[in-house]
Structure formats: C-alpha cells, structure tokens
A = this chain, B = another copy of it.
Amino acid sequence: MKTVILIGALGKMGQAALTGLSKHKVITAGRSGNVDHLVDITNENSIRALYEKVGHFDAVVNTVGFCEYATFAEMTEAQWMTTVMSKMMGQINLVRIGQEYIADKGSFTLISGILNVKPIPCAIADATTSGAIDTFVKCVAYEMQRGTRINVVNPTVLTEAWDVYGDMMPGFEPVPSTLVGKAFERSVDGFINGEVLFVDA
C-alpha cells in the first residue's frame, strides 16, 4: 500500500483516478470542499505547504489544471496566462517542488487532455498547455532522481462528463471513468516512466 496524494479529488477526473487507487491510502486535496488538504496549484507556497503537511508520500496524482476557452482570435493575454499558470506551470511546479519531498521510488502522474492531438474550436490554450505537459513528462523522465518516476494521463472526455462537453466535441467517443482510472493505476503501480498514457476510444 502506497500513500498517494490525489489533487482534484472531488472533480470528475479526480473521481476517475480514484477508481484506480483502491489499493492505496489516498490523501485527498483540492481547491475547496471536503478534502483532507486545501491546495491551489497555481501558488507555490500552497504546493509546498501541502507537501509539508502530508509528510511521507509515495505518489502524487494530479487531476486539475484550469483552462480558459475561446477562439484564438478572441483569446486575451490574461486568458492565455491563466491557463499557462495552472495547467502547465502549476503541474510543473507540483513536480519541481514535489521532487524535494517525495519518497524514493515514488511517482508523479499529471493530466493533459486529448485536445492537443484532436483539436476542436475554442481549445487552443488547453491544447497548447497539454502539448507542453506531454513533452515535459517525456523529457524530464530522464532527470528523475532516487528512482522516482513521472507519467501523464491524456484522456478523452469522460462518459460521466459527456452531458457537459458532448456538444463541443462532435465525433468524439467518451470513455468511462474506470478506464481512465486504470491509466492512473498503471502509472502509480507500474514501472513505466516518461509515458503519455492516452485513454481514447
């Protein structure tokens, strides 16, 4: 049994990840709500405080990254930066700071999203930062120390979120949360490193 910090535990993607973490002691974290620890991944001090409070942990599973949606022509600099500082730099900082605290042979699992390989209107900032995170994981894997590993789950839309996102994703087939949960499980419990785990129908 590993101690796993699950960030975004109350969200749909967090609940999907949770289905793959049933073997483990899961410490929940998120921006609000009934979680073990509050954390804002866009704030370095908040990230550090989370790790300090948890103490020993073997894995970090992040399922959050806020994105703004607009056409490229209309997307403002502020919308770009909000997305970059959450989905991209927030996740990089989870790893950058977390590497100081995580147990030997621990793992980080980040989240990207299928829109960087299957683009749709209004998702350019999401796609660009997902591409950044997929690349980051593939490249930084060679630098992980003390046997620690890193992977990223790149899912399509969840069946459980299809009522919200289905209209903007014509021709996409949603996948059940439990299948996405398996990708998180494969990252946390396997020996893979530097992989982008696509979960797409």
Q: Which residues of A contact B (CB under 8 A)?
A: 44, 71-73, 75, 77, 80-81, 84, 88-89, 92-93, 96, 99, 115-116, 119, 121, 123-124, 127-132, 134-136, 138-140, 142-143, 145
Contact = CB atoms under 8 A, between A and B. Distances in A.
A134 B116 CA distance: 10
Nearest to A122: B143
This chain's copy number in the assembly: 2
29 contacts: A44-B77, A72-B140, A72-B143, A73-B99, A73-B143, A73-B145, A77-B96, A80-B92, A80-B96, A81-B89, A84-B84, A84-B89, A88-B132, A92-B128, A116-B135, A119-B139, A123-B139, A124-B143, A127-B135, A127-B139, A128-B132, A128-B136, A128-B140, A129-B132, A131-B135, A131-B136, A132-B132, A132-B135, A134-B135
A145 to B, nearest CB: 7
A129 B136 CA distance: 9
A18 B106 CA distance: 48
Contacts of A131: 131-132, 134-136, 139
A86 to B, nearest CB: 13
A93 B73 contact: no
Nearest to A138: B119
Contacts of A99: 72-73
